[in-house]
Amino acid sequence: MNAKDIALIRRHFKPGHDLLRVFDILHIYIMKESSEIYHYESQPFALLEKDQQELFMGNFKKLLSGRMDEKLFELRFQSEAEEHTQHLLLEALQEKSLADWKDHMLRLVGKMLQDDFQFEQDTVITFIRGEYFKPTKKRNEEAEESEKDEVYAFGFILCTINKTEQPPKSLVFDYVSREFRYNVALDPIIKLASPEGGFLFPCITDDATDVNHILYASGKANEPDMRFIEKVLNSELRATAKQDKAVFEEIIREVAGDELEASTLANVYEEIHRLIEDNEEEEPPKLDVRDVERILTASGVEDVTKEKVEGAFQQVVDDEKYELKATSVLPKFEAKSIKIETKVATISISPQDLKYVRQVNYQGKRCILIEVDEDAVIEGFTMRTETL
């Protein structure tokens, strides 16, 4: 499932949107002390008031926000598991009645609470089921038919997990009695703006339903809940973007050594960016031994050989056939996503501008030299240009 498909679904999470319909919603309240279901209720989503619908739609959109392999992970189901979650979800998608669908979701919550697992706070688990329509072609303004005349239809189940918090104590003014009154609210607030995790099933691949994969969403970047992934979703996680990036950097270090010119590293990132751009309409490209060898050679790294790169893969990941996601190893290309750390200052720069940075020796001292097209301004003052 690529980032474009996820972004499209996320944009359609609006009340009354004609390309996405939510049929039913189920709320389950879990007490932190006992890790038991305290209350649950289900109903057609259309029966909620519009303000409530908007709150939940915001919650669902927030769950599907974030970069792939950082907060969103496409997981493959494991082949064996007792009461497999894949089977539960498949059966639930096919259920006609709200009661039968609800029973399947309650069984899934039972898996979340197994092994005496305890939530840190009272928690609300929300499930929805609905249908998403994806146009088969782009809009043609001159045609009589619109893009919505031909669509793919996908049934889905989405789950969000939200913590609760106690409302703040406050001082209020009572208009009726004309007095100031200390107000203590006891009803917990459900933190819909910041879901702790959840999932979307099934995934969509090449405009087709992919029931062998599930999209998992983590509450924090690069901090997937492995217990939830393995025990609840019965899935496996290959690697996070952070892990892939660390592996890639270590492989470069094994091949090129600890020292690298900024321009060479800039060339590496440009080669990867070009590869991603060339495959924009397809799945994110993956880098194997041959790809890394070609990228390092084209970037100007000296003495690169196939044997060296294979040895680096073997040394770092113990697998010569390991593949790295190109989008994971490349910092945000146009953002200031690279930090140059010194005792004097921390410099933020984008990968595409890294080629303008050099470390030079001037009068026996190491200096960072940055090529700029315009005058630098500090606290409103233009820096005077010196000739070295």
Residue 294, pLDDT above cutoff 60: yes
| Token digits of residue 127 | 């499930």
Distance, in Å, from the CA atom of 62 to the CA atom of 195, rounded to the nearest integer, reads: 7
pLDDT for position 368:
92
Residue 319, pLDDT above cutoff 60: yes
Distance of CA 219 to the CA centre of its chain: 9
Distance, in Å, from the CA atom of 79 to the CA atom of 91, rounded to the nearest integer, reads: 17
CB neighbourhood size of 262 (10 A): 20
Residue 259, pLDDT above cutoff 70: yes
pLDDT for position 149:
58
pLDDT for position 122:
92
Query: Which of residues 44 and 145 earns the better pLDDT score?
Result: 44
- Percentage with pLDDT > 90 across the chain: 64
Residue 113, pLDDT above cutoff 70: yes
Residue 103 contacts by C-beta under 8 Å, 6 or more apart in sequence?
none
Question: Which amino acid, one-letter code, is at 118?
Answer: Q
Average pLDDT of every residue of the chain: 89
pLDDT for position 151:
76
Q: Which residue has the tokens 């303008």?
A: 356
Contact in structure between 236 and 76 (CB atoms under 8 Å): yes
pLDDT for position 279:
82
Tell me what the mean pLDDT of segment 203-215 comes to: 87
Q: What is the DSSP letter of 68?
A: B
Q: Which residues pair with 205 in a beta bridge?
A: 208
Q: What is the pTM of this model?
A: 0.83
Measured between alpha carbons, how far is residue 112 from residues 7, 104, 234, 243, 301 in Å? 28, 13, 11, 26, 49
| Token digits of residue 5 | 């498909």
| Token digits of residue 68 | 């792939």
CB neighbourhood size of 381 (10 A): 9
Confidence of residue 186 (pLDDT cuts 50, 70, 90): confident
Residue 76, pLDDT above cutoff 90: yes
Residue 316, pLDDT above cutoff 90: yes
Contact in structure between 53 and 15 (CB atoms under 8 Å): yes
pLDDT for position 8:
87
Lowest mean pLDDT among 171-180, 185-194, 273-282: 273-282
Query: Which of residues 260 and 115 earns the better pLDDT score?
Result: 260
- The domain limits of the chain are 3-237, 242-329, 338-382
pLDDT for position 142:
52
Helix H or strand E encompassing 291: helix 289-298
Tell me what the mean pLDDT of segment 271-289 comes to: 86
Lowest mean pLDDT among 46-55, 117-126, 141-150, 191-200: 141-150
First to last CA, the chain: 53
Residue 83, pLDDT above cutoff 90: no
- Percentage with pLDDT > 70 across the chain: 96
Task: Kindly give the pairing relationship between strand 235-236 and strand 286-287.
Answer: unpaired
Residue 138, pLDDT above cutoff 70: no
